[in-house]
Amino acid sequence: MRILIIHQYFLGARDPGGSRFNQFARYWVEAGHEVTVLAGTVHYATGRQAPEYRGRFLVREAAAGGVHVIRCHVSEQYNVSFVGRAWAYLSFAVSSLWAGLTAVPRPDIVIATSPPLTVALTAILLRFFAGVPYVFEVRDLWPESAIDAGVVRGRLMKAAGYAMEWLAYRGARHINALTPAFEQVLATRKKVPRGRLSMIPNGADLDLLAPGPKENRVRRDLGLEGKFVVTYVGAHGVANRLGQLLDAAERLRGDPDVAFLLVGDGMEKPMLRQEAERRGLANVRFVDSVPKGEIGQYINAADVCTAILQDSPVFRTVYPNKLFDYMTCGRPILVCIDGAARRLVEEAGAGVFAPPTDPDAIAARIRELKADPERREAMGRSGRRFVETHYDRRDLAAKYERLLASLVDDAAVA
């Protein structure tokens, strides 16, 4: 098969972030397929564009494993403002459509993975102009998530978002949801027929991540030796509400052994740094985003890893990528997201829950885990076994490959 993936946030070789499609694409090439990715030139967390992309509309590059990658122009206004972000989404829709029509052989099938929802524009127009069926993948429920996070505002923008969502679902040959909760919402509220739905989740990067020693280079470099380290890895955006971790750190400042380590980037990071400094929170450390190949060292340096989002009904449907990374490294999890994420962690026996709007409860959970190292070790082992059994990305890629092959065969018959 010739598979075309439209993924604005597809990682470069040393980029931080979720690497699911980097692995899937490589596995599909190993299986004998030709895979091309239309990717953006601006990283979703940093909002920055690498120098080699500046002033260029399309840039061809090779990813690991023989995957063809075409970097398509994205406006650098991405992290400047909400209007700038909307313009960045639309600029990618235009540049990726041009690449899809002029720079790649006609594919057998297209996968458009969202967010942002605007990747559907490229897929819809490729279907119209080239007659290529597409799978629309829902990694987050847009526009609801963007509205709840405050990224999409105003009646006109919200109406446009829901119209885009309707077109994306209506035009897709098939829709893949990344969580059972997404699948349920799509079937019941969005009225997508069950026969056009599947659930192939994010999964664990067992090729790259593994349990390792806690007292490692990261602890030495950051002066965290002997500390009880609570680590967050990921985006520092509006939806993440990491101010709640600062609130918990403030309640634990009397314990000199506890340290918080926040690794990543995003629109809210400068504000979070300033707020930690204003409060005099010497127990909070910030580290910029690190390449995916190094993130295991930061996770393994933790005693407890945490995932947190603002308290919103739509965020109760998500599986953050970081949960799989934490479990793959065998680290216990403090999950401050109710709903699907909490159920995943509890089913795995990999951690405990604290309400996301209750910093006293978050601090209390940290104290409990600090006092019980045997429990932490058991959670870490249980999480690792769980992802090895149920969420190996190689197995998930094979399942996805079978789905794509069946859709291509059906299109040929039709």
Report yes or no: 209 and 168 within 8 Å, Cβ to Cβ: no
Residues ≥6 apart with Cβ < 8 Å to 412: none
Q: Name the least confident of 13-17, 132-136, 296-300.
A: 13-17
Tally the domains of the chain: 2
Please check whether residue 131 lies inside any domain of the structure: yes
CA distance 53 to 56: 6
Q: What is the mean pLDDT of residues 78-90?
A: 71
Q: Name the least confident of 7-16, 119-128, 165-174.
A: 7-16
- Higher model confidence: residue 147 or residue 413? 147
Q: What is the mean pLDDT of residues 14-18?
A: 69
CA angle (393 as vertex; 388, 397 as ends), nearest 5: 140
One domain for residues 70 and 186: yes
87-104 burial: b if 16+ Cβ within 10 Å, else e = bbbebbbebbbbbbeeeb
Amino acid at 251: R
One domain for residues 307 and 192: no
Task: Enter the pTM of the model.
Answer: 0.87
pLDDT of 80 above 80: no
pLDDT of 31 above 80: yes
| Size of the chain in residues | 414
Alpha helices in 261-358 (DSSP H): 269-279, 292-300, 321-328, 340-348
pLDDT of 78 above 70: no
- Higher model confidence: residue 4 or residue 148? 4
| CATH number of residue 45's parent domain | 3.40.50.2000
One domain for residues 386 and 396: no
One domain for residues 237 and 310: yes
Please check whether residue 10 lies inside any domain of the structure: yes
231 strand-pairing partners = 261, 305
Q: Name the least confident of 49-58, 219-228, 269-278.
A: 49-58
What is the reported pLDDT for 140?
85
Helix axes 340-348, 321-328, angle to 10 degrees: 10
Q: How confident is the model at residue 349 (pLDDT cuts 50, 70, 90)?
A: very high
Domain that holds residue 178: 2-203+392-413
- Shortest CA distance to 203 belongs to which of 22, 2, 11, 406? 22
Please check whether residue 340 lies inside any domain of the structure: yes
One domain for residues 396 and 286: no
Q: What is the mean pLDDT of residues 253-271?
A: 94
Please check whether residue 190 lies inside any domain of the structure: yes
Please check whether residue 267 lies inside any domain of the structure: yes
- Higher model confidence: residue 311 or residue 76? 311
Please check whether residue 145 lies inside any domain of the structure: yes
Please check whether residue 212 lies inside any domain of the structure: no
One domain for residues 237 and 330: yes
CA angle (172 as vertex; 166, 175 as ends), nearest 5: 90
pLDDT of 411 above 80: no
What is the reported pLDDT for 351?
98
DSSP letter for 139, please. S
Please check whether residue 77 lies inside any domain of the structure: yes
